[in-house]
Chains A and B, each alone.
Chain A
Amino acid sequence: MPLDQSFIGRSYPPTETYGVSRAKIREFATAIGDDNPVYHDLAAARAAGHPDLLAPPTFLTIINLGAINTIIGDPELGLDYGRMVHGDQRFVHHRPTYAGADLTVTTYVEDIMARAGNDFLTLRAEIRDSADELITTTRAQLVVRGESS
């Protein structure tokens, strides 16, 4: 059954605050095999002009994924998680993310379309800090394979 197109334009209210920690930045950088000192060493990050440890470019996948899961888990949408694959992903960084940031994410359903028996769901997430400054905008396209494919 195709996804309900009336979900286009729907937004999901800001999530609980996610506090970015130095430990999580180091853990994430280690997991992607990146030893850049600005992700690991506070003195090196400060010497390079950063106020704290810098988060790698895809670090915010952690909260982006949480936002995606909220929407795909919405029973009204009726999305079959087992048939879903990640089609594309985009990050636009308006400002860098540093350890110590308290972030919230507001998610929007940008588009839902059916093509060749598959459903395509485009979600946008706006990630803001505690001063309500826009830090990063993410966009993900999720593909739900049709029953026959």
Chain B
Amino acid sequence: MTAVGDELPALTQRITRADLVRYAGASLDFNPIHWNERTALEVGLPDVIAHGMLTMAYAGKLVTNWLADPSALREYSVRFTRPVPVPDDDQGVELELSGKVGEVRDDGTARIDITARFAGKTVLGKAVAVVRLAS
């Protein structure tokens, strides 16, 4: 039985420049701040930054890995609160993802509260998924 406070298996996600290029092509998001350092610096960013939607996708994977059926994820929302700069090296950066059950509802759904951290700071706010629990 799923209960409030249950923790989802944590996930560490490495992100390199190559991942940003691959995601740009897959998502058709070619905003240059995600691949062109010159543009990123011009608009006041510290470096090329990861797509917020890529961070959202990784955090979604934390939830779907936990579900038997990924289509049980019915609602998913995040706020983008802090950029994730990705340096031009082979190591990239690590995103730390964790989540726990915040509420189990009478209608057979549960709310999952997600935390995404980079360098010790959260990068997503109000990251919440609503999932249908297996009956």
Contact = CB atoms under 8 A, between A and B. Distances in A.
B76 A57 contact: yes
Contacts of B29: 61, 65
A56 interface: yes
A149 B126 CA distance: 24
The secondary structure that dominates the A interface is: mixed
Contact of B28 (A49, A65, A82, A85): A65
Interface residues of B, number: 34
B53 A86 contact: yes
A30 B22 contact: yes
Nearest to A91: B76
B70 A82 contact: no
B131 to A, nearest CB: 10
Nearest to A48: B69
Interface stretch (A9-17, A33-41, A116-124): A33-41
Interface stretch (B1-9, B57-65, B85-93, B98-106): B57-65
Contacts of A86: 52-53, 80
Interface of B: 13, 19, 22-23, 25-29, 43, 52-54, 56-58, 60-61, 63-65, 69-71, 73-80, 126, 129
9 contacts: A27-B25, A31-B26, A32-B26, A33-B13, A56-B64, A57-B64, A86-B53, A86-B80, A90-B76
